Amino acid sequence: MAPAEELPEKILAYLQRTPLIARKETVLEDKTQSALEKVVVLLRAHTGNDFTFYKRNTLYRRIERRMGIHQIGKMTNYVRYLQENSQELDLLFKELLIGVTNFFRDPAAWEQLRKQGLPALLASRSPRQPLRAWVPGCSTGEEAYSLAILLKEVVEELKPKDKFAIQIFATDLDRDAIDKARQGVFPDNISADVTEARLKRFFTKEANGYRVRKEIREMVIFAPQNLIMDPPFTKLDILCCRNLLIYLTTEVQKKLIPLFHYSLLPGGILFQGSAETVGDFTDLFAPLSGKSRLFRRVESILRAEQIAFPSSFTAGPALGTETRLAPKPPASLQSLADQLVLQTYAPPAVLTNDTGDIFYVSGRTGKYLEPAAGKANWNIFAMAREGLRYELTRAFQEALRQNKCATLHGIKVGTNGGTQFVDVTVQRLEETGPLQGLVMIVFTDVPAPATAPLAGKAPKVSSHSPRLMELEAELLRVRGEARATHEEMQTTQEELRSANEELQSTNEELQSTNEELMTSKEEMQSLNEELQTVNTELQAKVDELSRTGNDMKNLLDSTDIATLFLDKDLNVRRFTPQATKIIKLIAADAGRPITDLASELKYPELADDAREVLRKLASVEKPISARDGRWFTVRIMPYRTLDDRIDGVVITFSNITVSKKLEEKLRGQHAGLEKQVAQARDGKLRTSR
């Protein structure tokens, strides 16, 4: 709050403190980056939570907001302020945990989960096996309770013979949010997100809002957890992680997605937010439909590397000089024999996905495949040698399209300046298991086909025959056209591959921008909720002040005592209607000096007495007569505020006309009696003489 003339200066000061808010990309200076790292260290030491893996722009925006509240211009000064005030560390920690959530956020996604995801999941579920779900970053519990309500509704619609056991684990870093979620009490405004039927079915109306019913509350287990540092829940059917990854760096996202894949059971569902994707892990999760944020876990053998569990997200201790690797167990005779047989007698083969990317190579395939020039490319069509590429492409597409084994016989392949003939078998693997959906390509060397002898009756064709020369020329022309077409196709493929890489790069940039926008949106939503809370509190204060003002007005009117309030400069601040009968006051006189107003009182010392009261802080009370014969007791008292500050005077005028007249009457009667007594005393004296 500030006077109007000071507002421009304060607005300019605020804009100078927050110059980076309007920028799309915040480039932190070295000093700012160093101060930001110090803030992260202070938070880790005070709260035990590491914000190193949070996006730098998000961290800076939240810190910048706290700096704006305290009117601190430099990050280094704010670091010093944090070091001196541990309470500010707690407030900053709460500020970084942006708890923006509501019931059934993004209703279209929840409806798709209800119609497509859950029925298929429950159809293959044994009632004896509990259905397990995990909601990391649950905040105050709306997301977890939404999932519980949806599961309850779907189970009731399917009406299974046996009752399903449902376990939902909801975790969050904020312990206060977890405590609030455990209570299961939400404000009345959830009616905007929850239908009336669901409110009646799954909530109980209370004085301060709605409480989740016991049957839903018992389905959810709340617990504090750090997703980055603590171990995950496993053997899950549903993992609902919505708009949490957008606050984390890309490196952490790439470690969490495989971890989610490990936590889910085969066929499990990953439910993400509107700004999140599985990134490059399309081999681990398949979307239920086009732009859906619902993904089904798929089996894959592509990710052979070890999963980075939370304990390995941070760098572990360096291996000492005495660290020794555990000795490998000796290979068994059977495994050695199997390996020898495969190397000696089994034909070379490769295992690819449905786009031709090679995942596994068995045997020596160098006679058929060679690395393509340029950037490393493990695609079988790019590595196929001359003479094999087009026939292999045709057979590969045929095997995928017709879902059967495709075979090529006697394909002539160029090998290091020579030629060889090979049979190729392409087959898609349909057996259930980790290899399902992959393509097996087997190469088998065959001898060159024998030249068929000409029949005895066939006419000889002279080597100088014009027809033969014409055919040879046509063959050379066709070969030239085929070679040119092949080169054009190869160039086109390289251009398409380059364009695809550029599109992927652009897509990643757009995804990063989308995450930043979603983060900013949730921060604004959090700020909006805080403003609404403050606005509600201010409105309650205004209503309370209005009621208090009405009470005071009626109280003053009911006393029938003329009251006048003056400020320190003896200007009129407020007055009661009775005061207008003594001093000529109207509503427009507020702010005018009391000395400028006409009065019925014979009291020219009123202003001087008021100043004396302000100086000595002692009340003054005098009986004063009016020009019309009325009498008033004028009492002047200091005006004290609630914080014991003198802010003017209060003058009350009590009508004592009746008592004054009675007093005069009594005085007259008393004077008459005294006169009679005096006369009687004089008569007695004369008699005695």
Q: Name the helix (H) or strand (E) containing 170.
A: strand 166-172
> Is the same domain home to 111 and 80?
no
90 pLDDT above the threshold of 70: yes
Q: 362 and 216, same structural domain?
A: no
The span from the CA of 518 to the CA of 658, in Å, is: 77
3-state DSSP percent of the chain in helix, strand and coil, to 5: 45, 20, 35
Residues 346-383 have pLDDT tens digits of 788 998 888 888 888 888 888 888 887 777 778 888 88
Three-state DSSP state, 125:
coil
Q: What is the pLDDT of residue 460?
A: 47
CB 181 within 8 A of CB 170: yes
> Whole-angstrom Cα distance, residue 169 to residue 263?
13
Separation of first and last alpha carbons in the chain: 91
Q: What is the band of 310 on the pLDDT scale with cuts at 50, 70, 90?
A: low
Domain that holds residue 203: 107-305
The answer to the question of residue 488 being in a domain is: no
> In 200-323, at which residue ranges do the beta strands (DSSP E only) sit?
203-206, 209-212, 220-224, 236-241, 264-272, 285-287, 294-297
Rounded distance between C-alpha atoms, residue 236 and residue 524, angstroms: 33
In a shared domain, residues 268 and 397: no
Structure tokens given for 224: 């504090």
The reply to whether 189 falls in a domain is yes
- Binned at pLDDT 50, 70 and 90, residue 171 comes out as very high
Stretch 167-171: mean pLDDT, rounded? 92
User: For position 591, which CATH number holds?
Assistant: 3.30.450.20
For the chain, what percent of residues have pLDDT higher than 90? Answer: 11
| DSSP tag of 62 | H
Residue 360 has what pLDDT?
Answer: 85
> In terms of C-beta density within 10 A (0-12 exposed, 13-18 middle, 19 or more buried), how is residue 618 classed?
exposed
Say if 518 falls within a structural domain. no
User: Does any domain span residue 127?
Assistant: yes
Does residue 130 share a domain with residue 64? no
Structural domain includes residue 667:
no
Q: Which whole number is the average pLDDT over 552-564? A: 79
pLDDT the model gives residue 127: 67
Using the structure block, give the residue that is written with the tokens 């009350």: 652
Q: Are residues 153 and 89 in the same domain?
A: no
Q: Mean pLDDT over residues 613-642, rounded? A: 87
What's the CATH code of the domain at 143?
3.40.50.150
| 329 domain residue, yes or no | no
What tokens were used for 105? 């956020």
Give the count of domains, the chain.
4
Question: Above 70 in pLDDT, residue 344?
Answer: no
DSSP for 8-55, please give it: HHHHHHHHHH-TTTT-SS----HHHHHHHHHHHHHHHHHHS---TTB-
In a domain, 68, yes or no: yes
Q: Are 70 and 49 found together in one domain?
A: yes
Output 155 or 341, whichever has higher pLDDT: 155
Taking each helix axis from N to C end, the angle separating 56-70 and 86-96, rounded to the nearest 10 degrees, works out to: 130
Instruction: Give the phi and the psi of residue 131 in degrees, each rounded to 5.
Output: -90, 120
- The mean pLDDT of the chain is 80
Average pLDDT over residues 512-532: 77
113 and 84, same structural domain? Answer: no
Cβ atoms 548, 89 nearer than 8 A:
no
Same domain, 348 and 299: no
Is residue 510 assigned to a domain?
A: no
Domain termination site, one of 449, 483, 499: 449
Tell me how far apart the alpha carbons of residues 373 and 639 are, in angstroms, rounded to a whole number. 93
Helix (H, G, I), strand (E, B) or coil at 386: coil
Say whether both 282 and 229 belong to one domain. yes
172 shares a domain with 275: yes
Say which residues have a Cβ less than 8 Å from residue 106's Cβ, sequence separation at least 6.
242, 273, 274, 293
Q: Which of 398, 428, 449 is the last residue of a domain?
A: 449
Residues 352 and 249 in one domain: no
pLDDT (0 to 100) of residue 186: 92
Which stretch, 189-203, 369-383, 485-499, has highest mean pLDDT? Answer: 189-203
Q: List, for residues 103-162, the tens digit of each pLDDT value.
A: 998 888 898 888 888 888 887 777 677 889 999 989 889 999 999 999 999 888 887 666
Q: Which two tokens stand for residue 44?
A: 């880790």
Domain end residue (candidates: 96, 115, 140): 96
In angstroms, rounded to a whole number, what is the distance separating the alpha carbons of residues 534 and 528? Answer: 10
CA distance 77 to 326: 52
Whole-number pLDDT of residue 150: 93
pLDDT at 202 exceeding the cut of 90:
yes
Apex 503 CA angle, 356 and 391, nearest 5: 25
Instruction: Tell me the pairing of strands 572-575 and 406-415.
Output: unpaired
Q: Does one domain contain both 268 and 211?
A: yes
Q: Identify the CA nearest to 659 among candidates 636, 634, 632.
A: 632
